[in-house]
Structure 1
Amino acid sequence: MRIVLAREMGGCSVLGRIWGVWRRRPGVHAVPKAPGFGTEAGHRLRPRGSSKRSRPLGGQPFPGLLQLENLSREELVDVLRAAVVDQKGKPGELTLFSVLPELSQSLGLGDQELQVVQASGKETSGLVLLSSCPQTASRLQKFFIYSRRAQRPTANYCAVTDGIPATSEGKIQAALKLEHVDGVDLVIPVKSPSRKDFQEGVKRTLSHFHVVAMGSGCALVQLQPLTVFPSQLQVHMVLQLCPVLGDHTYSARVGTVLGQRFLLPAESTKPQRQVPDDALLRRLCLTPSQAAQLPLHLHLHCLHLPGMRPGEAPMKLLAPLPSYFSRTLQCLGLHQQ
């Protein structure tokens, strides 16, 4: 039985491996505390093997952000050793699923097929959990479903938001639906949904948030989704009038008049590049053109998993922040507690 865990770095990933029935092996070690997020002992990943990297953006405004267009198929498999690029993709696109056969061979799995157990969204960095054992994958998926029903969070995200939430912590609840608008799938909040709305795909969503640090008009926020819906966390933070930094899809729904923020109608607001104000650009040391390439600052930092044998303590898997994310925290003076 084998579980593979990878941490995504903005577009490509470096992996660590956990072999056997969650036995510790080289490349994985226990840590007493994850800096800034969580307090339980867990496993921190460390890269193994070779690591051919693609070229970063000109001038390196976002260190650690890798670009798929600069990778060959062979380089992708080599960089990964289990890499996470994306959960979905158009035919012909270079994605995680398109290289799973090569990835299985690279890991010495033979004919065993890898499957995704848990993953962050397309633009989100962080942990991606893969398994070559159907029984283990099924058990973990059932664990995540049961935890959601019991409203026990299993995933911790960290985000940098443009704006500071009105309260330091709380719950965000919203009914959401997915609509296809102008060739793009967009998530739309639904006020006072009816029974018919729920029958037609509207879902109730819930997230916990906790402000870890504030500074320069921005915040470092810990997010714990208790439901699963596309772009849930981005939309939830928009509803708090604090879009995630680098959210070039939903941030346009937050308008400003005389320094006061308000929500624009989601149905009539088209996605557009996020435009930080001049003060924030100066703090980030970015030009407007560089800001247009700002990656989404939403990172799946931690997954809570059950012990894989009777009597074993639960585990916590951790992924360190991408270097561009850490650079942003430094520029904004946001320090993890």
Structure 2
Amino acid sequence: MGVLAACYRGASGWRLALGARMRPLGAGLCTAAGPQLWCGGGREALLLELRAAVVERRGPLVTLNKPQGLPVTGKPGELTLLSVLPELSQSLGCPSLQIVRAPGKETSGLVLLSSCPQTASRLQKFFIHSRRAHRPTATYWAVTNGIPDASEGQILAALALQHVDGVSVAIPVKSPSRRDILEGVKRTRSHFRVMATGSGCALIQLQPLTAFPSQLQIHMMLQLCPVLGDHTYSAGVGTVLGQRFLLSAESTKPQTQALDDTLLRRLRLTPAQAAQLPLHLHLHQLLLPGSRPADAPIELKAPLPQYFSRTLWCLGLCQQ
């Protein structure tokens, strides 16, 4: 077995932080070592996992590193982050916590909670004003199946929500009319930067400048580089004789991501294991305003999940 803990960025670029043994394939995705994948379980198990996932406590703010697969909200009776907040608040010795910002179910990473309604309101207004001014406050890391043509740039796309087989998915809309905009089509924008490449894949830094469901997955799909583990939108990219192209949204339905044999060998996965591969999209950093206008912004960061670090190691994305 190899050696693996995580990746870090030093003066000479991305490197592996050594000292922990790399786990065998299929092991360690749900462990007591920290939040990785939410594998279900009861209320008490989830509370224990969330307590272990606390990254930082700063005044009324509590930061969690949400495991991939945990829904933030849901239907009455479903086990979600929101449904266990009262017990989590009590367990952490906080007044009633509320969610200020959180990534979606399939995305891992930073969850920002607050026990002060005034602080929560101030931060929510800050995020809204930042989006209107197209100032990024959230930084995601993603591993993509494919490498963008440009090393850095902005992705612009008009998106709409559509129900496909009872599931709500985002679809791109070409040349939206004014009526389309009034009926719910939204112009979206994200900034991307390629941080490392290897084995036909890339480690990408993504900063959404607008907010729309599945925006980042759609934007990378439009670059012909779907996020690894995206079993919804990667089907929008077709391949003929090694050349990738976009399929029409009307002819595409969500389906399990298909990986070629070379990539499967690099990842040390069987096709059945690849069908269960988690979405490699992680909310790594949030910027918050300082206490006073002249103060520097506050940076909050969440470590990568183990499966994400394992993928970086397998693909050689930590060596640049």
TM-score, length-scaled by structure 1: 0.80
Deviation of 1:177 after TM superposition, in Å, equals 0.4
Instruction: Give the Cα separation in 2 of the matches to 1:262 and 1:140.
Output: 40
Query: Per-residue CA shift, 1:206-232, capped at 9, x if unaligned?
Result: 000000111100000000100000000
Structure 1 equivalent of residue 80 of structure 2: 95
Instruction: Give the Cα separation in 1 of the matches to 2:92 and 2:292.
Output: 24
User: Secondary structure of the residue that 1:68 maps to in structure 2?
Assistant: coil
Deviation of 1:67 after TM superposition, in Å, equals 3.6
User: Secondary structure of the residue that 1:229 maps to in structure 2?
Assistant: coil
The answer to whether 1:178 aligns with 2:161 is yes
Question: RMSD of the alignment, in Å?
Answer: 2.1
User: Secondary structure of the residue that 2:287 maps to in structure 1?
Assistant: strand
Deviation of 1:311 after TM superposition, in Å, equals 3.9
Deviation of 1:314 after TM superposition, in Å, equals 1.3
Structure 1 equivalent of residue 3 of structure 2: none
The answer to whether 1:141 aligns with 2:112 is no
Gaps of 5+ in 2: 1-6, 11-22, 55-63
Identity of aligned residues (%): 72
In structure 2, which of residues 35, 39, 44 is the aligned counterpart of residue 68 of structure 1?
39
The answer to whether 1:261 aligns with 2:244 is yes
Change (3 A) 1:167 1:310: closer
Task: Specify the code of the residue in structure 2 equivalent to 1:89.
Answer: G
Instruction: Give the Cα separation in 2 of the matches to 1:63 and 1:94.
Output: 17
Instruction: Give the Cα separation in 1 of the matches to 2:26 and 2:75.
Output: 30
Change (3 A) 1:108 1:309: same
The answer to whether 1:330 aligns with 2:313 is yes
Instruction: Give the Cα separation in 2 of the matches to 1:63 and 1:259.
Output: 36
Instruction: Give the Cα separation in 2 of the matches to 1:173 and 1:186.
Output: 18
Task: Specify the code of the residue in structure 1 equivalent to 2:75.
Answer: K
Q: Say which is worse superposed, 280-289 or 149-158, in terms of deviation.
A: 149-158
| Equivalent residues in 2 for 1:26-41, closer than 5 Å | 35-36=8-9
Instruction: Give the Cα separation in 1 of the matches to 2:129 and 2:181.
Output: 21
Structure 2 equivalent of residue 79 of structure 1: 49
Change (3 A) 1:142 1:67: closer
Instruction: Give the Cα separation in 2 of the matches to 1:185 and 1:311.
Output: 43
Instruction: Give the Cα separation in 1 of the matches to 2:102 and 2:78.
Output: 19
Deviation of 1:310 after TM superposition, in Å, equals 5.0
Question: What is the number of residues matched between the two proteins?
Answer: 283
Deviation of 1:336 after TM superposition, in Å, equals 6.8
User: Secondary structure of the residue that 1:90 maps to in structure 2?
Assistant: coil
Instruction: Give the Cα separation in 2 of the matches to 1:94 and 1:242.
Output: 33
Structure 2 equivalent of residue 106 of structure 1: 91
Deviation of 1:104 after TM superposition, in Å, equals 1.5
Instruction: Give the Cα separation in 2 of the matches to 1:158 and 1:212.
Output: 9
Instruction: Give the Cα separation in 1 of the matches to 2:26 and 2:296.
Output: 46
Instruction: Give the Cα separation in 1 of the matches to 2:303 and 2:171.
Output: 31
Structure 1 equivalent of residue 113 of structure 2: 130
Contact 2:30/2:38, CA 8 A, preserved across alignment:
no
Q: Say which is worse superposed, 211-220 or 99-108, in terms of deviation.
A: 99-108
Contact 2:140/2:205, CA 8 A, preserved across alignment:
yes
Deviation of 1:120 after TM superposition, in Å, equals 1.1
Structure 1 equivalent of residue 301 of structure 2: 318
In structure 1, which of residues 101, 105, 117 is the aligned counterpart of residue 100 of structure 2?
117
Structure 2 equivalent of residue 41 of structure 1: none
Structure 2 equivalent of residue 251 of structure 1: 234
User: Secondary structure of the residue that 1:324 maps to in structure 2?
Assistant: helix
